[in-house]
A and B are shown apart, each in its own frame.
Chain A
């Protein structure tokens, strides 16, 4: 589903190498930047600066982990979807997220890390995933709110990634974005059904909007003046727009949608500025964001425990598949010999 602002100051390890070792490297670096500036795609076998590679591994794997962890809050309602049509739609959506995880892990593998290694980093807590999935989904309206707001925010972030300088990532994003925009429409349509439904359904929809609005705004990451790596990532064309620009775009697109639903955005300071043509909104509570990033969100532990349990419970299955493949190979060799 989504990657969040990757340039929080708390994150380490993506700094480009502070000094260049050889002249040859300087030349390679120069040639690399020229290609990026000319909007050429960088492919797995091409030379790339170590910092670029590290940044991409971190961003793509974080994105992949977000897809996989993101299956959990929505998966929470698959068995309770209120109609068979909704059940099928939700199953298909969560399955799409698994598929996104799969192509993103593959894209990360082109940079020389294995999927098992990346999953190990997720389970150990070394790798991050989008904090939004550390919020719970207590009601059915959360499924609508996630589709509408979380996927909506994801699209804002991800559409520019279709033009990312790294080829395999850019190509994965083209497909992902197509599916995400379908999910977003589906989520909005679900919210619409609730908003036009009984008083209880409308209450459910408003409650979900109240809980998801601010976390959705936080998905774009820290404010530009708090952002550590933006300039380098922009120069590398991994990032095209700043966190604040994307957040503003999201607010501008989403407020009229909430109005159409007849729901109220939980921000008393929200107002339209006719001069700028943009909505102005209240201050984001970054303390909450930072606490969740540290592991103190309502569901951080449950999410990783669920992934760990699936991994542990599946160990004997993966071992059996490997053992069986080895037996088959042996038999085939014997037959051939």
Chain B
């Protein structure tokens, strides 16, 4: 693999790993506080899967980078501007409906992405995707079912998820952004074309929104910046909490 391509793949893997980690972290905040016991267990399951994906992806990113950074070095010793996650992932939980909308918008993307990454010409990435796709298929069913229940539940639940959908929709454009580096990865058959992903994601999202009796928001201005390390105010607090121990005791191993 050429140096440029390797660097592009490092960036791509890091984005994917960071998105999984940050979203997994957000879901883990629910542990012990969900609306019912079954849901506590289910949300924790998804959080576990996402952190698991993050570990594989960050480990691989560290190998591609070749500077000796392992998963923990990457997770715990980077500040906000070096994080590359989607802005969607770092949005706070707010309420259960907001969490479900955020999760569904992400899961609908992840299931299409990992399904295609299984055929990546990069064997490691294909291997990670093959493991992840089985889990994200469950995730999208879980979040999609809840979105339908809440959208087509009571007036209150409908209003809550409709509001969340409006708030979060502007963060969905980022999932399909492309740049030159990514273009090269697409050309090499390493990653799928974002345009193709967007079409599949849109079809999936529209079908669930219809069942949920929710209107699809219009595609207006989209929030961007995650891939350049330009984040919302929320990520700093998330990292401050997550990174506390390794930052406070830099010489310790745990």
Q: Check A80–B245 contact: CB distance below 8 A.
A: yes
Contact of A72 among B32, B45, B76, B251 (CB under 8 A): B32
Closest residue of A by beta carbon distance from B249: A200
Closest residue of A by beta carbon distance from B246: A82
Contact of B156 among A71, A200, A316 (CB under 8 A): A316
Interface residues of B in 1-58 (CB under 8 A from A): 21, 25, 28-29, 31-41, 44-45, 47-48, 51-52, 54-55, 58
A101→B37 CA distance, assembly (Å): 8
Q: Check B153–A320 contact: CB distance below 8 A.
A: yes
Question: A91-B28, A91-B48, A306-B33 are known contacts. Are A201 and B249 too (CB-CB below 8 A)?
Answer: yes
Q: Which residues of B contact A84 (CB under 8 A)?
A: 21, 51, 54-55, 58, 71-72, 75
**Within the complex, what minimum Cβ distance (angstroms) separates B148 from chain A?**
7
Contact of A321 among B31, B47, B75, B149 (CB under 8 A): B149
Q: Which residues of A contact B48 (CB under 8 A)?
A: 88, 91-92, 95
A-B contact count (CB 8 A): 139
Closest residue of A by beta carbon distance from B157: A320
Contact of A82 among B35, B45, B52, B254 (CB under 8 A): B254
Q: Which residues of B contact A201 (CB under 8 A)?
A: 249, 252
Residue A51 lies at the interface, judged by CB distance under 8 Å to chain B: no
Q: Which residues of B contact A323 (CB under 8 A)?
A: 153-154, 157
Closest residue of B by beta carbon distance from A140: B245
Q: Which residues of A contact B241 (CB under 8 A)?
A: 79-80
A78→B51 CA distance, assembly (Å): 12
**Within the complex, what minimum Cβ distance (angstroms) separates A176 from chain B?**
15
Interface residues of B in 105-162 (CB under 8 A from A): 148-150, 152-154, 156-157, 160
Q: Check B45–A95 contact: CB distance below 8 A.
A: yes
Q: Which residues of B contact A313 (CB under 8 A)?
A: 33, 35, 95-96
**Within the complex, what minimum Cβ distance (angstroms) separates A187 from chain B?**
14
Contact of B28 among A78, A140, A193, A197 (CB under 8 A): A78
Residue B244 lies at the interface, judged by CB distance under 8 Å to chain A: yes
Residue A161 lies at the interface, judged by CB distance under 8 Å to chain B: no
Residue A309 lies at the interface, judged by CB distance under 8 Å to chain B: yes
A82→B73 CA distance, assembly (Å): 11
A271→B148 CA distance, assembly (Å): 63
For chain A, give the interface size range. Answer: 35 or more
Interface residues of B in 180-208 (CB under 8 A from A): none
Closest residue of A by beta carbon distance from B55: A84
Question: A99-B41, A314-B96, A320-B149 are known contacts. Are A197 and B72 too (CB-CB below 8 A)?
Answer: no
Question: A79-B241, A316-B160 are known contacts. Are A95 and B31 too (CB-CB below 8 A)?
Answer: yes
Residue A198 lies at the interface, judged by CB distance under 8 Å to chain B: yes
Contact of A83 among B21, B72, B160 (CB under 8 A): B72
A315→B41 CA distance, assembly (Å): 17
Q: Which residues of A contact B222 (CB under 8 A)?
A: none
Q: Which residues of B contact A327 (CB under 8 A)?
A: 152
Closest residue of B by beta carbon distance from A92: B48
Residue A249 lies at the interface, judged by CB distance under 8 Å to chain B: no
Contact of A71 among B32, B45, B157, B249 (CB under 8 A): B32
Q: Check B28–A79 contact: CB distance below 8 A.
A: yes
Residue A336 lies at the interface, judged by CB distance under 8 Å to chain B: no
Question: A82-B76, A95-B41, A95-B45 are known contacts. Are A316 and B252 too (CB-CB below 8 A)?
Answer: no
Closest residue of A by beta carbon distance from B100: A317
A99→B48 CA distance, assembly (Å): 15
A40→B62 CA distance, assembly (Å): 58
Interface residues of B in 196-254 (CB under 8 A from A): 241-242, 244-246, 249, 251-254
Q: Check A98–B41 contact: CB distance below 8 A.
A: yes
A105→B36 CA distance, assembly (Å): 13
Q: Check B31–A78 contact: CB distance below 8 A.
A: yes
Interface-centre pick from B45, B71, B154, B251 (highest chain A CB count, 10 A): B154
A317→B30 CA distance, assembly (Å): 14
Residue A319 lies at the interface, judged by CB distance under 8 Å to chain B: yes
24 A-B pairs within 8 Å (CB atoms) are namely A68-B37, A78-B28, A80-B241, A81-B245, A84-B55, A84-B71, A92-B48, A95-B41, A98-B32, A98-B37, A98-B40, A140-B254, A197-B252, A310-B34, A310-B35, A316-B156, A316-B157, A317-B36, A317-B157, A319-B154, A323-B157, A324-B150, A324-B152, A327-B152
Q: Report the 4 A-B pairs with minimum CB-CB distance, sorted nearest first.
A: A314-B35, A320-B153, A320-B157, A82-B245
Q: Contacts A85-B55, A313-B95, A314-B34 known; list 17 others, CB within 8 Å.
A: A79-B28, A79-B29, A84-B21, A84-B72, A86-B254, A88-B51, A94-B31, A95-B48, A98-B40, A101-B37, A140-B245, A197-B254, A310-B33, A310-B35, A317-B97, A320-B154, A323-B153
Listed in ascending order, the chain A residues whose CB lies under 8 Å from chain B are 68, 71-72, 75, 78-88, 91-92, 94-95, 98-99, 101-102, 105, 140, 193-194, 197-198, 200-201, 306, 309-310, 313-321, 323-324, 327
